[in-house]
Structure 1
Amino acid sequence: MGTIAHYTYDGGQTTQEELQSRAKLYRTGKLPRWHGEFAVRHPDGTVRWLQDDAIPVLDESAQRVIGSLGILHDITERKESERRIRSLNSELEARVRERTSDLQRTVSDLESFTYTVAHDLREPIRAISLLAGLIKEDSSTQVEPMTIDSLDRIEQSAQRLSRLVDGMLKLSRVSRTEITKEDVNLSAIAEDVAAHLMALRPYRDLRFRIEPDVLAHGDPDLLRSLIENLLSNAAKFSCQVDQPLIEFGATESKGRRVYFVKDNGVGFDPRYADKLFRPFERLHDSSDFPGSGVGLATVQRVVERHGGTVWASSGSGEGATFFFELGSDDNQATPPSPLE
């Protein structure tokens, strides 16, 4: 035989005191069954695991325990399999942690590289644009119109590249900014952004319908960037329609708070919805709707940094609605109305 090296009751860790207490209950008939597992260490050092199942045998009055009926199973192979599985799981978790850490470092390095490159490109691009303008002004009476046209194209290309670099920097800042969460009045931000947009010449005919006191929990600066980009995007694609209207509010879907920005603009083909939030992807010609191509990518980055999701619905020529939620710790003082 050997000595009992370890004992568990019903699969859980059991102290000696707990084991004695349960044994007392079993002997008095207050415990209807016994189920335990224990390891037996033999003199040669080998260990076997046994499973102990038993039920008490009562007298005719069913009031007193007069015996016990039980069976022992050798479960050494099962225990060894469980040990191997635990070991493999631990190894897998360690590998996942290591790969995740490597990926995070790679992403961080890439973002730092992008930020550095974009920042360093700003001055050369600005210089190209400035020099092209100076050459054009100084030599406008001495060169052919074709040369002037080429200089115009250089200037325009430099300006587009400058906007692209600015967009890269903005997107990088969103990823690098440390988040500080607090209660934020999104309606107040939307009102402020709307007033700014309506002061611009292309957007003077815009109308806004903003639900009052829509509250969220998040980083105030990042959430302002989120609202600015969504409303600016809606304004850009709505200003060419009759009676443009942009709406902002909150609702509820499946117990979750959902915020939305809705417009009656040109909309987009839903077949290409997956491209909306990719940096520098465009679903419309830049000559019709100019922009850097990072506005919606910034929106997605802000939402993801809050642990949420963003999506959109539309039909070509039917306007668009952008929805977003801000993760499990988002809260709102007044429950929104249900989402239709």
Structure 2
Amino acid sequence: MDRLLDVNDLHTSFQTYLGEVKAVRGVSFHLDKGEALGIVGESGSGKSITMMSIMKLLPENGKITAANIKFSDRDLTKLSDKEMESIRGNDIGMIFQDPMTSLDPVFKIGSQLEEPLIKHKHISKEDAKEKVIEMLKLVGISSAEKRINQYPHEFSGGMRQRAMIAMALICNPKLLIADEPTTALDVTIQAQILELMKDLKTKLGMSIILITHDLGVVADLCSRIDVMYGGMIIERGTTRDIFYNSKHPYTWGLLKSIPNPQEDIKQRLRPIDGTPPDLLKPPIGCPFSPRCEYAMKICLNRMPEAFKIDDNHFSSCWLNHPNAPKIDKISGGDIKNGK
């Protein structure tokens, strides 16, 4: 498949009064045309900051260093702010976490959706209005002709999220970044939004990066999943690899914390004990080792390499080393006895 996005060795940090916060530490990933990639992890793992770094939407105290970030053969790290403006909303669309704070409360929905069309596509206001109505209908908003004259507070939560999706898609971008697009919605609306994104991906042939903390959300939409923790990608693989053959204890923890309706025996959900690492002083070893029940001495002192499980599956965990003790990740065996 043709490569659309290639991120190599991305580092993002923030200067604060306490010191430098290393929010993203050496992240590399790729995305092909027409593909959907899921990036999962707890809050604070660096998912959103990674995407904001790609879009160059960081605050003034943010600093980005990367070998390169290639999008359609253009290196985004070398583009000026004006050149990036021509890409944001045009070639790359983004759905932000909270649609109520992302939509301007003093402007009508129609005018907010018309603006990127007029700016990027250089069409008339009348043509832009027709395109907005068409897009609102496409994302499932009824009475679109009436809705374009309403303000964000007149929309329900689900409708605001659909309006945000319409805004992100209005210029037919090559890439859609969806940052927790269903977090504030009830489960029924969540299912509708995810089905809508899946349908639009097929109709428009665009690529999607879906950011979430919920593995269940990415199961049906994404073909590959990258698991982030402590500002790093600690496991990557196909969706089937991650769900049925995961090789990192953090991924096991995420899977155990979501309900499985196919389980014959009802089991309590198991939260991951502890808290994410302090990225003011990142650990020298595996960032998950303080919370890992299988941690060994080497985990605390040396960062694990990305061990190759197969051609598309990699896991940064010392348990994948040939000399590591074998464990039973399902029953939580005792590592000391090599069970």
Same fold (TM over 0.5): no
Q: Which has the higher contact order (CA 8 A, sep 6+)?
A: 2
TM-score by length of 1: 0.24
TM-score, normalised relative to structure 2: 0.24
Higher helix share: 1
The structure having more radius of gyration, on CA atoms, is 1
